[in-house]
């Protein structure tokens, strides 16, 4: 889809406007949500701190290693096996994190002054101890680099643990916003859909917390936008874009494992274009090799999650990745049936969380509907592929990605042979949205661009602001 002459400035302003909204709403979440109360934020912060000290691989407890220290949630290690997977961090850091988490609640609500008083504390130092953060220890360090940079800079200036948390949130948000802006520059003809995805409350929230999910989501959006650009043969691609595509393909190998599926469109399209063939082929080989190497290490180091029993749930007990994988390979129809039962049992929750999932508030069907409507409106701006095979290709990648994400949850934290997949979060499927938009969108002709920008931006802004108020009320009312 060709943009009209003179539209360049308007397009740049629109892209910057989306970036400004992402940063503004993200700052709201970063400042309002109490420290370490993002989803699984404490173990993600520990992994980011570990990376900030130059560590790549997590470690288990060995002879002569520092003692195991109590985790911020009050437990020290797996009470069944006694095993630990994490890293050595200052004991003062863990103590400060425990203090922050404890200060978050007083008589059932957050005592904001209690944790803000810790902002001027000295930087954690002193003897190190091994802390268990197994739920994030096997993730590659790339997703934590933005947060690690914020932590390292704050530590260098003697900042407190609380200052490190806020700095890590800020650097993660800024890097993710930059990745989203870059994606929008590539998404000509489909910017409405990509902007709608970037402004989803679940995406903005994840990019403003200390988490591997935010970086993974932003990079995934960029990867899909790049593949969309490479697929438009009428759009010339210079050496700089080819190198960027290669870097993104390799980066996907170091994010959460299903993200590697999103490299497939760029590789397939790149191999079909003569000017990209060599660069993309090399990137694909490197990405597969890196993913295989990291997967081999993480599989050897992996420890199952701490056994927890939720009434009626199959998650977090009797987990064994090797046995579960054997079960899936020998009973593939059973795994398919588990997916169907998961949709039937939790489909509504997962669908709502796909658009709205914010700490401190229950997933709201109302705001999920608002953001879904805005996303649907954005679909009118999609210059969708004309040929049926191309549409099926984008849809196929979305299906494969969804199955891979479900398989990871089934293998990682569900009981062996479980009849369904429990504790699966809707945010894991966010990358499917732009893929489906590209598969279903029609060429946009003759409509009002300004109306479409309003149809996308205004509902997202209203939903984001309303959720910020909900989070404030949930924690501080």
Report phi then psi at 217, rounded to 5: -65, -45
**C-alpha torsion sign, points 132, 133, 134, 135:** positive
248 touches 234 (CB < 8 A): no
Does residue 178 register a pLDDT over 70? yes
Cα atoms in the 13 Å half-sphere on the side-chain side of 454: 5
pLDDT score at 80: 37
Average pLDDT over residues 163-174: 96
How far CA 300 is from CA of 30, 59, 60, 79, 270, in Å, comes to 35, 11, 11, 21, 34
Q: Tell me the β-bridge partners of 414.
A: 315
Over residues 459-474, the mean pLDDT reads 68
* Residue 303 banded pLDDT, cuts 50, 70, 90: confident
- pLDDT at 339 (0 to 100): 93
Q: Give 143-163 pLDDT, tens digit per residue.
A: 999 999 999 999 999 999 999
pLDDT score for 258: 87
Q: Where does the pLDDT of residue 8 fall: very low under 50, low under 70, confident under 90, or very high at 90 and above?
A: low
Angle at alpha carbon of residue 122, lines to 120 and 127, rounded to 5°: 155
- pLDDT surpasses 90 at 223: yes
375 in Cβ contact with 193 (< 8 Å): yes
**pLDDT higher than threshold 50 for residue 16:** yes
- Residue 371: the pLDDT is 52
The residue ranking higher by pLDDT, 192 or 329, is: 329
Q: What is the pLDDT of residue 111?
A: 54
Look up residue 282 and give its two tokens. 């090399």
The pLDDT of residue 239? 84
pLDDT of residue 447: 37
What is the structure's pLDDT at 455?
53
User: Which carries the bigger pLDDT value, residue 209 or residue 18?
Assistant: 209
Higher-pLDDT residue of 169 and 67 is 169
What proportion of the chain, given as a percentage, has pLDDT over 70? 75
**Strand, helix or coil at 328?**
helix
pLDDT in the model for residue 238: 80
**Least trusted range by pLDDT, from 227-231, 271-275, 323-327:** 271-275
For 107-137, how does the pLDDT look when each residue is reduced to its tens digit (9 = 90+)?
445 555 567 777 888 888 888 888 888 889 9
Average of pLDDT values for 360-374? 50
Q: What is the pLDDT of residues 436-455, one digit of tens each?
A: 888 876 543 233 345 445 55
Note the pTM of the prediction, 2 decimals. Answer: 0.87
Q: Average the pLDDT over 325-354 and give the result.
A: 88
- Residue 170 above 90 pLDDT? yes
Q: What is the distance in angstroms between the CA of the first residue and the CA of the last residue of the chain?
A: 49
CA distance linking residue 182 with residue 244, whole number of Å: 11
The values of phi and psi at residue 128, to 5°, are: -95, 155
Q: How far apart are CA 56 and CA 50, in angstroms?
A: 8
Q: What is the mean pLDDT of the chain?
A: 80
**Cα–Cα distance, 229 to 210 (Å, whole number):** 30
């Amino acid at each position: 889809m060709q943009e009209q002459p003179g539209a360049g400035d308007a397009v740049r302003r629109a892209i910057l406007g989306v970036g400004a909204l992402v940063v503004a709403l993200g700052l709201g979440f970063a400042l309002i949500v109490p420290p370490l109360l993002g989803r699984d934020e404490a173990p993600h912060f520990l992994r980011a701190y570990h990376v900030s000290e130059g560590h790549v691989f997590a470690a288990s407890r060995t002879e002569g290693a520092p003692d195991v220290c109590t985790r911020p949630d009050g437990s020290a290690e797996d009470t069944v096996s006694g095993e630990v997977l994490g890293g050595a961090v200052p004991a003062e850091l863990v103590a400060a994190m425990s203090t922050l988490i404890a200060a978050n609640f007083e008589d059932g609500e957050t005592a904001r002054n209690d944790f803000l008083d810790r902002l001027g504390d000295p930087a954690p130092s002193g003897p190190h101890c091994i802390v268990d953060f197994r739920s994030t220890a096997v993730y590659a360090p790339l997703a934590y680099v933005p947060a690690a940079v914020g932590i390292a800079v704050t530590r260098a200036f003697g900042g407190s643990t609380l200052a490190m948390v806020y700095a890590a949130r800020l650097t993660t948000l800024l890097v993710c916003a930059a990745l989203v802006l870059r994606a929008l520059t590539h998404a000509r003809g489909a910017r409405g859909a990509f902007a709608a995805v970037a402004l989803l409350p679940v995406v903005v929230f994840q990019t403003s917390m200390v988490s591997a999910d935010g970086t993974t989501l932003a990079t995934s959006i960029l990867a899909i936008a790049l593949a969309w650009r490479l697929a438009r043969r009428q759009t010339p691609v210079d050496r700089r874009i080819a190198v960027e595509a290669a870097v993104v393909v390799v980066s996907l190998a170091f994010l959460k494992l299903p993200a590697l599926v999103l490299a497939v469109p760029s590789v397939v399209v790149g191999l079909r274009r003569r000017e990209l063939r060599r660069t993309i082929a090399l990137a694909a080989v490197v990405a597969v090799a890196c993913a295989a190497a990291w997967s081999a290490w993480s599989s050897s180091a992996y420890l199952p999650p701490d056994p927890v029993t939720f009434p009626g749930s199959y998650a977090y007990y009797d987990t064994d990745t090797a046995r579960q994988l054997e079960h899936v390979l020998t009973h593939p129809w059973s795994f398919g049936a588990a997916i169907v039962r998961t949709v039937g049992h939790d489909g509504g929750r997962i669908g709502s969380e796909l658009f709205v999932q914010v700490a401190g508030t229950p997933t709201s069907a109302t705001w999920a509907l608002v953001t879904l409507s805005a996303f649907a409106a954005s679909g009118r701006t999609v210059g969708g592929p004309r040929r049926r095979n191309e549409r099926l290709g984008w849809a196929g990648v979305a299906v494969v990605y969804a199955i891979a994400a479900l398989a990871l949850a089934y293998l990682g934290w569900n009981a062996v042979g479980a009849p369904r997949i429990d504790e699966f979060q809707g945010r894991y499927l966010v990358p499917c949205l732009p893929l489906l938009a590209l598969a279903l969108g029609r060429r946009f002709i003759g409509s009002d661009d300004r109306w479409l920008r309003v149809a996308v931006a205004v509902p997202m802004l209203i939903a984001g602001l309303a959720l910020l108020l909900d989070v404030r009320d949930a924690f501080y009312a």
